[in-house]
Every structure is written in C-alpha cells, then in structure tokens.
C-alpha cells in the first residue's frame, strides 16, 4: 500500500519512498526531562506511535529512536534549586515520562539515547564542523556558521534577511551573525565536560544530529518527527549541521504535530499551570486520552477540554462493549479467536496511509462497531460474520494502539452463562439476576 506523508520540508503531500526497501527509520525529538510531562507532551508520543504501528503492520522493518534531552538549562536550574544532581533530576523525569508512555500504551523506542551518553560523539561531531569551516570558536564557545550552508530556512520557509531584521537585539555580540547558534557553550555552572575549547556543555541543536549520526547508517533517516514548535530553529539547525557534517539534510520526510489548545480550561494554559498527563490518565485512562489525541488530524491544533474527554470516554466504552461482546459470543460457541489470514481493513489502512488521517480511520472503526452490534443481535448468530468482524476490529485497535481486554471464558463461565440464559427463559428472574451479577462482575456480560 502506498503511504502518503505531508512533508514539512516541501509543504506537500508526498508518496513515501524509504531509503532502504521495506525498512523505515524514524526519529522523534523526545522530552527535555526537567518536569512531569503534560498533556501536550503526549501528542507526539501517540501520533508517532500510530505511524510506527502502521508501518509495522504494512510489513516494514521499523527502527524507532527517540531521545531524552538530559542536559539543559532547565534541568540544571532545577538541580540547583533542589540541591541534587542533574542526573537525579533526569532520572526522576525519565521515569515519569515512561510511566506516561506506558499508560497511553505507546511502544517504547527501540533506542532511547541520552545526551550525557553521547558527549564524546558530540565533541567529535563539532570537530568535524570546525574542520569543514562551518563552525568557529570564540572565547571557549563554539558557534555554527549559518552562512556556510546553502538554503538555510528551507524547512521553516524563513527568509534569512527577514530573520536577521526581525531578530532581537543580541546581547551576545561574539557571534558573526545573529542567526549563528551555539554548538558548545563554555560554562562551569551545572553539569559540564572537558573539551579542547573549554569546560562546558553542548548546545541543544547538536544532540539530535549526533544521535542520528551515531545510530543510523550515513547519518540519514526516513522520517524526522516532533512538535510544530521544533521546526524552527531546532530542526532547521539540524538540517544545517547535517549538511555541513554529512552533506545530507538528515531526513527525507519531516512531520510536525500541532499543539493542544485548552477549551473551557483556558485558565490552565498560563505557564506553570498546565494539565499534567498523569492527572488526565488517572482520571480517564490511557485509551481515552489516546482516542482524543487521535480524533484530530495530527497537524491541526487540538482542543482539549473536560467535555471532549467525557465524550471520548463514552466512545471508548462503546468500542470496548462491542469488542468484548464479540469475544464472548465467539467463545461461547467455541470459535477460535485467532486466524492466520489478514483481516480486510483496506479502507481503514487507506485513511492512515493518507498522511495519518486518524479521524477518518476512527470513523471507519465506528462503522465496523456498528456492524458488529447489528450482527450480535441477529438470530441465529452468524459466527463466520462475527469472527470476521472481531478480527477486523482487533487489527484496527492494534494499529491505533487502543488496548481493549476481553475475558477468556473457562468451562465454568460457560456453564454459568448457559444457566443464566436458561433461568431467564424460565422466567426465574431472581436466579437469572443473581447469575447476571456474577457474569457482569467477570465482565462477561
């Protein structure tokens, strides 16, 4: 199946062509681990998780890397204010981040590198940039020379002259141009390392380049993802560095997810008063937040509110009920829940392959759910149809990363169910209600 992706680099929907046949390499900028993740942090996690699952389902060998930025001013400031090490801060919030990733049922990255594990690589990388005359040293700082590469601004569609004229008054006059950015920052405040330029630490923009360079052949990947805000300057600078270092622009396709707006909870938007991912997950569960995040096209802004969450909760329960009833019905008739054949979910896949149109894919899921509910009320039940639908829904849920459980019935369960039906038929409602309670407690009914 042909996969279409909106490439932020060209601002066009393009047909995906991998660097290597049947393989896809994806790198998503991960979190700066200085705080507990908020709802906004979940969006790239979920969006790129679905992208990854789609590629996997379509038979690609996927290599998915997402980093932790564990060297950063905010981490250092936090470490200082709490009087603990940066490592302690990072460890705490990496843990917090992964708890959230697990809670929304996102697959863990194949590799999740940390900046602190790549310092020698970073230093070597900067050396090459210096050798290539794309960087310069001033008083122990190293800067990237933006003027050394062609087409700076191509990703964000920014004209260099506009940028310069719009640039704020630079306090740092050491740079040749206000657009130049720090590769290595001389400092003894907070965590730092020795280099031949100074004691200091790497700039933010270099780490992703270095990790991609270290972890992927030729330092080039198929898809680079991240939040919209990273487009400029972060991703623009990655392209610039990679051009100067490897002569390539680091990624073929760039994908940027939109931001989350807060509807009625607007008061929470002000800084320091964001909605923590954990709080939402505790209240609604990972599946519901996932459904909300996938209910809007990934490039569009998403409105988040308790009303939206409540609606998604109802929707998810619908999915859950139907899927569970299918599984129970099939088991009661001793039909196997497994099948070697690939289910026919072409329309669903088509939507996802159309630049990850998850809203339309979900619409397709609801269409099948409706079909399932109809089939479940047919008498007699058509088990071939039920099984076909069950397997289709199962595949869809899997690709969307929705985790829906169903009970596995043992012989006793089946006996209780048969008794329940019999008592009900005999109009022994007291007894049938009692059995119904048992079945409901086991989530069979």
Q: Which of residues 351-390 bind RNA (CB under 7 A)?
A: 357, 359-360, 363, 366-367, 369-370, 373-374, 377
Tokens 């969450």, residue? 309
Query: Please, are residues 101 and 33 in contact by the beta-carbon 8 Å criterion?
Result: no
Distance of closest approach, residue 48 Cβ to RNA, in angstroms: 10
Q: Does 166 bind RNA (CB under 7 A)?
A: yes
Backbone angles phi, psi at 212, to 5 degrees: -65, -40
CA-to-CA distance for 300 and 28, rounded, in angstroms? 18
Which segment (119-127, 128-136, 313-321, 382-390) binds RNA by CB under 7 A?
313-321
Name the packing angle between helices 286-294 and 39-57 (round to 10°): 80
Q: Does 203 bind RNA (CB under 7 A)?
A: yes
Binder of RNA out of 295, 332, 337, 442 (CB under 7 A) = 295
Tokens 């979920």, residue? 46
Q: Does 318 bind RNA (CB under 7 A)?
A: yes
* Complete DSSP assignment for 264-324: TTGGGGSTT-PPBHHHHHHHH-HHHHHHHHHTS-TTS-EEE-HHHHHHHHHHHHHHHHHHH
212-271 binders of RNA (CB under 7 A): 226-234, 257-261, 263, 271
Distance of closest approach, residue 174 Cβ to RNA, in angstroms: 14
Here's the x/- map for RNA, 69-98, by CB under 7 A: it reads as ---xx-------------------------
Distance of closest approach, residue 41 Cβ to RNA, in angstroms: 5
Q: Does 31 bind RNA (CB under 7 A)?
A: yes
Query: Please, are residues 288 and 309 in contact by the beta-carbon 8 Å criterion?
Result: yes
Q: Does 418 bind RNA (CB under 7 A)?
A: no
CB of 56 or CB of 321, closer to RNA:
321
Binder of RNA out of 67, 192, 296, 331 (CB under 7 A) = 296
Q: What is the Cα Rg of the chain in Å?
A: 26
Q: Which of the 8 DSSP states describes residue 436?
A: H
CB of 333 or CB of 426, closer to RNA:
426
**CA quadruple 374, 376, 382, 385: dihedral sign:** positive
135-164 binders of RNA (CB under 7 A): 156-159, 162-163
Binder of RNA out of 5, 123, 182, 396 (CB under 7 A) = 182
Q: What are 304's strand-pairing partners? A: 262
CB of 113 or CB of 203, closer to RNA:
203
Nearest Cα neighbor of 221 from 196, 250, 199 is 250
CB of 249 or CB of 257, closer to RNA:
257
- Please count the residues of this chain forming the interface with RNA, following the rule CB under 7 A: 77
Distance of closest approach, residue 162 Cβ to RNA, in angstroms: 3
CB of 4 or CB of 414, closer to RNA:
4
Nearest Cα neighbor of 50 from 366, 355, 323 is 355
CB of 318 or CB of 442, closer to RNA:
318
CA-to-CA distance for 122 and 142, rounded, in angstroms? 12
Dihedral, CA atoms, 433, 438, 442, 445, nearest 10 degrees? -20
Q: Does 432 bind RNA (CB under 7 A)?
A: yes
């Amino acid at each position: 199946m042909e996969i279409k992706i909106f490439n932020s680099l060209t601002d066009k929907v393009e047909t995906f062509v991998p660097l290597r046949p049947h393989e896809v390499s994806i790198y998503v900028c991960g979190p700066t681990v200085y705080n507990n993740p908020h709802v906004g942090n979940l969006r790239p996690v979920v969006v790129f998780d679905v992208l990854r699952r789609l590629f996997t389902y379509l038979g690609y060998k996927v290599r998915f890397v997402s980093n932790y930025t564990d060297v950063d001013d905010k981490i250092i400031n936090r470490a200082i204010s709490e009087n603990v090490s940066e490592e302690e801060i990072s460890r705490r919030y990496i843990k917090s981040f992964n708890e959230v990733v697990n809670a929304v049922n996102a697959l863990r990255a194949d590799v999740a590198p940390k900046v602190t594990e790549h310092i020698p690589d970073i230093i070597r990388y900067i050396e090459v940039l210096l050798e290539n005359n794309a960087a310069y040293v001033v008083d122990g700082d190293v800067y990237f020379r933006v003027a050394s590469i062609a087409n700076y601004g191509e990703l964000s569609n920014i004209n260099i002259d506009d940028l310069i004229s719009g640039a704020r008054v630079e306090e740092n006059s050491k740079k040749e141009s206000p657009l130049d950015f720090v590769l290595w920052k001389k400092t003894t405040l907070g965590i730092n390392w020795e280099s031949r330029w100074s004691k200091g630490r790497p700039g933010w923009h270099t780490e992703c380049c270095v990790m991609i360079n270290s972890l992927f052949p030729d330092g080039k990947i198929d898809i680079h993802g991240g939040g919209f805000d990273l487009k400029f300057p972060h991703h623009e600078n990655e392209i610039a560095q990679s051009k100067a270092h490897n002569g390539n622009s680091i990624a073929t396709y760039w994908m940027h997810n939109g931001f989350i707006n807060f509807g009625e909870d607007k008061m929470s938007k002000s800084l320091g008063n964001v909605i923590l991912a954990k709080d939402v997950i505790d209240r609604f569960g990972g599946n519901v937040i996932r459904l909300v995040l996938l209910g809007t096209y990934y490039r569009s802004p998403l409105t988040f509110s308790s009303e939206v969450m409540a609606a998604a909760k109802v929707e998810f329960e619908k999915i859950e009920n139907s899927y569970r009833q299918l599984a129970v019905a099939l088991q009661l008739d001793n039909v196997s829940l497994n099948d070697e054949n690939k289910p026919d979910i072409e329309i669903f896949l088509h939507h996802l392959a159309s630049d990850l149109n998850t809203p339309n894919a979900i619409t397709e899921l609801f269409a099948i759910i409706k079909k399932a509910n109809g089939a479940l009320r047919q008498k007699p039940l058509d088990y071939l149809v039920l099984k076909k639908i069950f397997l289709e829904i199962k595949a869809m849920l899997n690709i969307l990363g929705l985790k829906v459980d169903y009970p596995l019935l043992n012989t006793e369960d089946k006996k209780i169910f048969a008794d329940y039906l019999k008592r009900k038929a005999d109009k022994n409602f007291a007894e049938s209600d009692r059995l119904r309670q048992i079945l409901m407690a086991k989530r069979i009914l």
